[in-house]
Amino acid sequence: MLEKIYQSIESIYPQMVEIRRYLHQYPELSFKEYKTAQYIANFYEELNIPYQTGVGGNGVVATLEGAKPGKTIALRADFDALPIQDEKDVPYKSKIDGVMHACGHDGHTATLLGLAKVMKSYQDKLPGTIVFLHQHAEEYAPGGAKPMIEAGVLENVDAVFGNHLWATTPVGTIETSKGVFMAGADRFEIKIQGQGGHGAYPHETKDAVVIGSQIVTQLQQIVSRRIDPLETAVVTVGVFEAGNAFNIIADTARLVGTVRYLNTDIQEQIIEEIERIISGICTANDCSYTLDYKKGYPPVINHESEATLILDVASKLPEVKQAAEVIPSMGGEDFAYYLQERPGAFFFTGAQKEGNPYPHHHPHFDFDERAMSIAAKTLISAYFAYQEK
């Protein structure tokens, strides 16, 4: 039956492209994906597949029960966009100013909707139950996965699988890991309160720019000098705001950054080091500070058996030239929460578009749409393989 399903996926591929391009033109930000959620719900309504809306927020969950007994397996796609101006010159360019699908979530949604339409036609031969998880708000912590899980989407689910179209990897590549696959991702914000004054009289001030600069420099030494070289971590300051005139010494500064890690012990060590560095520098400069550290998504840790299953089924697809285990990515993903609750695996589907070298979260981001059919085939292959476990 799988070969026939593959053929059906190929036949519906043009509709997947149509869905993806429509969604690309009408993106919505995290926690504001109302029209996208309604679009997904309408699709399942037309298919006559039972669904729920408003799950954990804007989530949509559809359930296709097969005619034959079997396991219940969830397949997940996210559908939120990013606050980025779309700068591509394509017919399906975003029509929403300052909002763009710059990470492929439109493709994830189109993949799962297309697969749902295909599998509806095989319902009378289908063993088990497919749960289609359409998750909102992956891009912005606290994310949509956790509230959807709390709403009960994994009840009676035996395993869960998810895919990410990966625009920096060639089409025909499937990548995953049999353990840690993606990093934990945290956010921190530091506010420094110094003492402003005239640029000509620095001795009468506590220069927040200089103090902030010292903190930025010292934070870079956490990974290079405080963390075991055999561990993996990132500390990045992405925002430094201070001052508003060339001849005024700033009294306040604001630093915002991210911490990435694979090991929770390293996460705790970094938090301690950040606090120690800020406290020491501010004490030395006789100023005050606040640190707001928010723990974000935990690491994505695949289950070995399910990750092996993904590699096995992908390697049998003619379109897949390489199915490989890779080192972890330092990107974050709230798919991690599903894997804390159920066996499963997350994987990358190569989607590099010829002539478009831009990475995820870039204003020119795009992907090769052929990857959607490969992702659909891999997901449904994993579904059937898991039925036999």
Catalytic residues: 80, 138
Distance CA 351, CA 369 (A): 7
Plot region of 255 (φ>0 → left; ψ -120 to 50 → alpha; else → beta): beta
The verdict on whether residue 139 carries a ligand-binding annotation is yes
Burial of 388 from C-beta contacts in 10 A (0-12 / 13-18 / 19+) = exposed
Cβ burial, residue 177 (10 Å; 0-12/13-18/19+)? buried
Binding residue per annotation — 136? Answer: no
**Residue 298 DSSP SS3:** coil
Q: Cis peptide before 142, with omega less than 30 degrees from 0?
A: yes
User: Does residue 361 have a known ligand-binding role?
Assistant: yes
Residue located via tokens 């359409």: 134
Question: Position 210: which residue type?
Answer: V
Question: Is 287 annotated in some ligand binding site?
Answer: no
Q: What's the CA gap between 275 and 55, in Å, rounded?
A: 38
* Helix locations, the chain, DSSP H: 2-25, 34-47, 105-120, 145-150, 208-221, 264-284, 304-315, 336-341, 370-387
Which residues touch 377 (CB under 8 Å, ≥6 apart)? 5, 6, 9, 317, 319
Answer whether 107's CB lies under 8 Å from 352's CB: no
Rounded to whole angstroms, how far apart are CA atoms 18 and 25?
A: 11
CA atoms within 13 A on the CB side of 99: 19
Q: Please tell me whether 164 is known to bind a ligand.
A: yes
Cα distance between the two ends of the chain: 18
Residues of the binding site for Mn(2+): 103, 105, 139, 164, 361
Residues of the binding site: 103, 105, 139, 164, 361
